[in-house]
Structure 1
């Protein structure tokens, strides 16, 4: 009964925070942070202009054939097998750092959002700047310190989903969904305040163990009930990231050609790769969408994650006024997939029988 009472109290707190968000007024989107403004471009005409350009069609089809061909050749020949095996083993050896990596990936951009005054995404603000700052800074620091990690991640997830229901522009920050879910399942890990408090509570010799009301009554039972779900953390992360990549590639580039073309023109990207601006936009959009599809199905997960990191790095160096903090969550989550691989329900788990799935360890870090 006491556990249920505490759970109901925590749920009431989460609902209260969500209601506070709703009470602040409708979230509003501002001009995209790297788009200098643009004239509207009809999507159908834009796509038609690309598909009727023989050079563009040749490049796009050639790229598709090259990707499929390289994948088939790799699966057939398995070149550099020892190097690949060593890479995987090394990545798997970092699994004990996975909770810390996830906390940094979500905590740092939340703190940055709080101090900058935006709500998850740089283009979204609430009607209450004070709430926005307090929410970002408080939730971000608690996740960074690893104190009440699972509960705080749950609060963050609920607030994000409420905000998303009010303002669809928050889809630009959809990576917070798999990030919060993964943190809620794994807890704080080490180092974290949760691990320290849990260690003291579990040691019968400490004075704290005699007064702690939470560890044995709530935290341990919760972990016992959810421990079987930790194996699905890679699945949650890659599917969530895949959705985010497809959304960014299709809706923010191919379906918004005016803004995308304005970015190409503003940063003179055609001087980097001398192709038509339209081909630039379609190529970038399809690349992001392809990475998203590969992540969702879990095919070549680590390779797709490496490509994603390359895309992020190129974007940050190529767009000097792009807000770096807003992309830390993406950087961190794709880095997590380098450690875990595809996980359950992935093509990789079928194709690579020699690749062990990471089952994130459960250290004593369960104090919420």
Structure 2
């Protein structure tokens, strides 16, 4: 048994859970649970004021250095943990359900947004019930899935051009793109209709108006399906980094409102400013790990834990608006880093090392 590997993997898990516990309840979309403050505070001055306290400085510096050192050590040692290897093998069997995960994670909040009276994000009130409920139900049913996802993507981008506040729901972009790449999967109406249309002698097969177009599109895009993991982790990673940088570190006045409103200092008795810095730095760190694809599943697990703590810690936070992130993070956890990730590069390097060691010496 690789004891150093087990210790390193366990340490990463413990650090991740500790960071998620500290930051989770302050990691919601700040704009969803607070009002615009009457006075704003300069971000640099706020950070300097918080870090002027020796205890706060020690906690921030110690936590940052500890996490960076651990990640660097894992990069050098590349430990093998049997439990993680077994988990990877189990998750490989779940890959066929990723399209269904994505359809649920976008379809449900779209239906909810339509009935709740906002456009994609609770920060943008709008009456778009027919549009969003229609898109959502079609995604849930898996009917004309790729076309519906493309329509949803164009709708979001067009709305974003006129209302920058929709950047709070930017996770819809990688979600829609991933569905376009993967299609509906199964169970879905598309799959059922495809089976009926492809069966000999069926009436529907004689009149199916889209079968040829759908098949040609699927053939052309098939080679790009492997980049779904890349699209998801980069998109979600940028969303987390944005929330940490713009909503927390660059907007401390509003972030402190969250800490005061929910009495978070009673949960972990530290300075309110440290809550804000901790939440912001943790979200940025998790986001960067997802973007580069380093220990992707571990970063996804920490992100998921933060969302769960937000769900239980902020009772009036619009949970429906976070379903998209819940589903996409679950898909990332299932798929791993995918191509163009540091995880993939390290795995390939490890395979090369093992192949080289397996070659008999000429002596």
TM-score, structure 2 as length reference: 0.85
Please tell me whether residue 34 in structure 1 is matched to residue 28 in structure 2.
no
**Which residue is equivalent to 1:179?**
175
**Which residue is equivalent to 1:133?**
129
Residues 114 and 354 of structure 1, relative CA distance in 2, 3 Å threshold = farther
SS at structure 1 position matched to 2:200: coil
**Distance of 1:305 and 1:155 partners within structure 2:** 28
**Which residue is equivalent to 1:85?**
85
Aligned 8 A contact 1:37 1:262 in 2: no
Q: How does 1:69-218 map to 2 (within 5 A)?
A: 69-76=69-76, 81-126=81-126, 129=127, 132-216=128-212, 218=213
Residues 301 and 83 of structure 1, relative CA distance in 2, 3 Å threshold = same
Shift of 1:354: 8.9
**Distance of 1:339 and 1:44 partners within structure 2:** 38
Shift of 1:237: 0.5
CA offsets 1:157-202 (integer angstroms, 9 cap, x no match): 0010011111111111010000000011111110000001111111
Shift of 1:37: 5.0
Aligned 8 A contact 1:294 1:301 in 2: yes
**Which residue is equivalent to 1:249?**
244
**Distance of 2:80 and 2:347 partners within structure 1:** 14
**Distance of 1:189 and 1:354 partners within structure 2:** 32
**Distance of 1:212 and 1:323 partners within structure 2:** 41
Shift of 1:213: 2.1
Residue range with higher mean Cα deviation, 80-89 or 302-311: 80-89
**Distance of 1:72 and 1:82 partners within structure 2:** 21
Q: How does 1:43-62 map to 2 (within 5 A)?
A: 43-62=43-62
SS at structure 2 position matched to 1:124: coil
Shift of 1:61: 1.2
Question: Unpaired segments of 5 or more residues in structure 1?
Answer: 1-30, 357-368
**Distance of 1:180 and 1:355 partners within structure 2:** 34
Count, aligned residues: 321
Aligned 8 A contact 1:100 1:188 in 2: yes
Shift of 1:51: 3.0
**Distance of 2:302 and 2:250 partners within structure 1:** 23
Aligned 8 A contact 1:36 1:266 in 2: no
SS at structure 1 position matched to 2:74: helix
CA offsets 1:98-126 (integer angstroms, 9 cap, x no match): 10000001001111111101110111123
Q: Which has the higher helix share?
A: 2
CA offsets 1:23-69 (integer angstroms, 9 cap, x no match): xxxxxxxx933115534222232122123222222111111122122
Residues 355 and 168 of structure 1, relative CA distance in 2, 3 Å threshold = farther
Aligned 8 A contact 1:349 1:355 in 2: no
CA offsets 1:287-314 (integer angstroms, 9 cap, x no match): 0011110111111100000000010011
**Which residue is equivalent to 2:215?**
220
SS at structure 2 position matched to 1:58: helix
TM-score, structure 1 as length reference: 0.84
Question: Unpaired segments of 5 or more residues in structure 2?
Answer: 1-29, 352-363
